[in-house]
Amino acid sequence: MTDMTGKVALVTGGGSGIGRATALEFAGRGAAVMVADFNLEGAQETARQIGAAGGRAAAVKVDVADEGSVKAMVAEAVAAFGRLDYLVNNAGISAAGPNVPLHEVDLKAFERVLDVNVAGTFLGMKHAIPEILKAGGGAVVNLASTMGERASAGDPSYSTSKHAVRGLTQSAALTYATLGVRVNSVGPGVIRTGMTEAIFEDEQTTAWLKGVTPMHRFGEPSEIAKLIVFLCSDDASYITGGYYPADGGWLAG
């Protein structure tokens, strides 16, 4: 894959799971990485791991649903590394608690998921893309989900948000298609991270999910990270506006 030495990546939600794996993958290709997360300690740990492996990284606290915070995050990335080439809008949440039917979902909880997953993705692009344009072009990857293609009963906010991320991705891709900024979304299947911890605690659900995944196994964060970094790289130079699942075959079924 194309060497990314001299490039700068900004990864939101980089303090754990898929975001941490993505930050490590970028660094492994030579890019400097600004690791942004609501959980600053998690982001600092990711940056520490990159530094220990000989890479360049820094950490910043952000709430992606807050415009002032996102603006400051982008400014900090540019101040630290002098430019910005890639943005990964990875920070995301699902509705808290066990699956509840739509008519019992609290409006505030529904809105918070949309604020983080959708407005957060919008705000990331709004403030990072001008910097990517200044750097001469680059790429954005937004985290959708298999739940951005299908839906699950009981968590309407999450499916709604991930469908919206795909639409937002396509709109942005069209806007910047001739300006050198490619914008794509990826759709992980079930990946072992903090977000899916509750699923793995329940043996029955785990067994069922494995059974309905054609590969009969769950994904690792690094398997999503490799796709994200490929989509940012020059090897993906003709790819924009797309949605790329990495789901062990789930959507084929």
CB of 110 vs ligand NAI, minimal distance in Å: 15
Q: Which helix (H) or strand (E) holds 45?
A: helix 40-52
CB of 6 vs ligand NAI, minimal distance in Å: 27
- CB closer to ligand NAI out of 27 and 141: 141
Which residues touch 233 (CB under 8 Å, ≥6 apart)? 1, 2, 4, 29, 139
- CB closer to ligand NAI out of 10 and 191: 191
158 is catalytic: yes
Tell me the residue length of the chain: 253
- CB closer to ligand NAI out of 44 and 90: 90
- CB closer to ligand NAI out of 166 and 182: 166
Find out whether 142 and 188 touch, Cβ atoms under 8 Å: no
DSSP letter (8 states) at residue 220: P
CB of 10 vs ligand NAI, minimal distance in Å: 12
Which tokens go with 110? 């529904």
Distances (CA, A) of 15 to 45, 87, 158: 7, 15, 21
| DSSP reduced 3-state for 80 | helix
CB of 21 vs ligand NAI, minimal distance in Å: 8
Question: Given 86, 158, 176, 244, which residue is catalytic?
Answer: 158
Query: What's the distance, CA 63 to chain centroid?
Result: 14
Give the interface with ligand NAI as residue ranges (CB under 6 A): 12-13, 15-19, 37-39, 42, 62-65, 90-93, 116, 143, 145, 188, 190-191, 193-196
Strands of 86-89's sheet, edge to edge? 57-61, 32-37, 8-12, 86-89, 138-143, 181-188, 243-246
CB of 212 vs ligand NAI, minimal distance in Å: 14
- CB closer to ligand NAI out of 2 and 170: 170
Quote the CA–CA distance of 168 and 158 in Å, as a whole number: 15
Which sequence positions are flagged as catalytic? 158
